Structure 1
């Protein structure tokens, strides 16, 4: 994904970019102008490494509401010429405007009419109009959506290609409500020509879906071990390359018998890269006695396809034999040693605590708090209740730029750090991730006067997730004494 520029964790901007609860608390205590500048920078330049798994929009929208922030900066950003190009690359356009549109959606849900009007305008003329329309679909009234029908349909020329694009837009819509309103036109508020065209495109979408189900397309292998291995290799040799080793391994599960084992072992030992990777995956999934030795050899192979398949296959293996091999490999300083540590973090027992802790410390020291594979080790320290891991877990919590990893670190701290309830758990009530707020609602010590007040705010907030509100209300109704 993208590699954003993240400020140090001790600054207001760095806290807000990470989505930490302390970011909100510091912003509310800072000068309003300073807080708004930092907040606007976060919204206009998405700080997330992967917007598909990290939350920020509700977090920023709540802070906009608390600071009564104006939307001029968001408006200028959305209606900049770069955001209005009809042929803009979709992924870049979503990255540039998606967070701002989501923040506007939450603000509209909080009753900000200026945010609602901005979304309507952008849905009519903006490059990332589908996102804006999805936000409006769950927050605007029928009248507001019906007015947009003509502007949206004007994007699709009345040609064969335009009709196909319209059908694809209807099929891919995350929220179908606007399209249904336009098609049904129950009160006559939509242009009849618009309604008829949407109905026709919707019918074509349903027919196309039925055709795809009845006549699946795409390359398929022959019905033999050799044909499957050749199919996997043909994909890798194509341009652009198609990585078929994982689906090929699933096909091998259906076609391979005991008599094919020698051929598969030979392929896993020295076959072409994709065929070798597919055979490795299949043998590991079947817990073949030779699989671990083959994996050890393949993990050091210069081919990325082979090495990746070996490591992924090993991490999926179960049983005591695989665990014993993981214990033997975990001291290694290479990729296989790192994979072994992750296996122990997921499936090891208390005899593996020092191995997991050592791997966690080494990875953080070498690659920092955003290292690849760190989440598995952090989660493992919590699963194994490794109390002496608390210092490094606190470091990961403070420094990581991934709100998803910070939430995992918070869960591990809840299991290992006795001071969590009176410390980080309080801050987590304002965190950007719903799972982290839910964790905080269950653990935060109510001796801090801010805790009960925030719990009541979360309980009354219509935008809060149901799981968080369930935890909050359970905590408020428990009548437990302050800790």
Structure 2
């Protein structure tokens, strides 16, 4: 999140604050006052209110522009700003075009012909749009490529345009997918194996049954300077589940901070009832510190205890209501449901308008089958700008009522 202005979130119970956080309730309330909330919608493009890069806002903002029948012109004007703002506006306009806005589509095509950051924009639309919407821009790209400081790295759309791209600076490494588990584990155990090869071996193991023989190798899977784990180590350990618990006791006492943290996390993820008071206290401390990154992990740990974790409910509700880190919101709702499903119908219903895919998926699965809910799920099913996962879940939820998937 960056901007030339100091950014302070508005209160979570105001329309402005709800929209900044990407809450579903913000979208619902904005529909009740399109003129009064238009400036907040446009502000979501002008300034990046995401807490970090994994949060979503583009589809949320594009839907607001469409549903409130706001003109895209103020967003089009943002294309002329710095590269970060330009690409943020580009993403919203791409989605508006997919939703049927000819003005948004033509604005981006025009920008490719005239704009400063045209190369990044044409790369972006080549991913988001059908080929017939952009492949006629080849003449423009060929004429303008000389303006670029260097050749692009990405292959699309440049190779389709017949434009040379830079060679990747690293020669591609052979795939290890054809090796057996024992061969991959042997590579990981060999102290002379290069780090990149070890990462490739972990990647090859990722989609297979968890290999218990990986456990004693974990302490050796750090970066050469010993400061960090190799990429994919944490994910490999998480897939091992409770199998890693005995070794994790030793890891947690290790002098290397990355291994000690990994061991502590494994133990916390598989702790017994005696850990519950500490987890509730951890949530309380995170709330007191307004620590927006990390409480989702604590929430998932608390959720394992079900109704016994009732003391965590006030903190989970506060985080769900107020966090600006929208990526974590679904974890709080999931934990609340594991502890006590009662009283959450409104939260699941609101989630159908949420900025985050995970929240919309939760709403599709669990919101009560009221006419409003089923109508909203049908909108998600039929929206060409929606993600394939959400559209598929919506089809599945509506299938019993329609007989069609």
Normalising by structure 2, report the TM-score.
Answer: 0.74
1:154 maps to 2:133: no
Distance 1:478 1:388, change over 3 A: farther
> 1:41 offset after TM fit, Å?
0.7
Contact 1:394 1:409 in 2 (8 A): yes
For 2:317, which of 386, 394, 415 is the aligned residue?
A: 394
> 1:439 offset after TM fit, Å?
0.8
Q: Which has the higher contact order (CA 8 A, sep 6+)?
A: 2
Structure with more helix by fraction: 1
1:404 maps to 2:327: yes
2:23 paired residue number: 20
1:110 paired residue number: 99
Q: Distance in 1 between matches of 2:221 and 2:302?
A: 38
Contact 2:219 2:251 in 1 (8 A): no
> 1:410 offset after TM fit, Å?
1.8
Q: Distance in 2 between matches of 1:373 and 1:7?
A: 22
Q: The residue matched to 2:345 in structure 1 has which SS?
A: coil
1:120 paired residue number: 109
Q: Distance in 2 between matches of 1:136 and 1:346?
A: 41
Q: Distance in 1 between matches of 2:39 and 2:15?
A: 10
Q: Distance in 2 between matches of 1:348 and 1:44?
A: 45
Q: The residue matched to 1:212 in structure 2 has which SS?
A: coil
Gaps of 5+ in 1: 84-92, 184-197, 216-222, 229-249, 256-273, 296-308, 318-339
Q: The residue matched to 1:37 in structure 2 has which SS?
A: helix
Q: Distance in 2 between matches of 1:364 and 1:211?
A: 45
2:260 paired residue number: 314
Gaps of 5+ in 2: 175-189, 196-216, 238-243
Alignment of 1:422-441 (within 5 A): 422-441=345-364
CA RMSD of aligned residues (A): 3.5
**Largest Rg, 1 or 2:** 1
Contact 1:27 1:35 in 2 (8 A): yes
How big is each residue's C-alpha offset from its partner over 1:239-285, in whole Å with a ceiling of 9 and x where there is no partner? xxxxxxxxxxx999389xxxxxxxxxxxxxxxxxx967579xx9x99
Q: Distance in 1 between matches of 2:371 and 2:109?
A: 41
How big is each residue's C-alpha offset from its partner over 1:333-392, in whole Å with a ceiling of 9 and x where there is no partner? xxxxxxx5x555422133322221121112212x1152x432211221223322332221
Q: The residue matched to 1:389 in structure 2 has which SS?
A: helix
Q: The residue matched to 1:142 in structure 2 has which SS?
A: helix
Distance 1:368 1:120, change over 3 A: same
1:56 maps to 2:35: no
Distance 1:275 1:58, change over 3 A: closer
Q: Distance in 2 between matches of 1:316 and 1:62?
A: 40
How big is each residue's C-alpha offset from its partner over 1:278-330, in whole Å with a ceiling of 9 and x where there is no partner? 79xx9x999599765454xxxxxxxxxxxxx51x312322xxxxxxxxxxxxx
For 2:132, which of 101, 121, 142 is the aligned residue?
A: 142
Alignment of 1:185-224 (within 5 A): 198=163, 201-202=164-165, 205=166, 208-209=167-168, 212-213=171-172
2:88 paired residue number: 99
1:77 paired residue number: 78
Q: Distance in 1 between matches of 2:344 and 2:251?
A: 45
Alignment of 1:247-266 (within 5 A): 253=220
Contact 2:76 2:89 in 1 (8 A): no
Contact 1:429 1:440 in 2 (8 A): yes
> 1:135 offset after TM fit, Å?
3.8
1:459 paired residue number: 381
Normalising by structure 1, report the TM-score.
Answer: 0.63
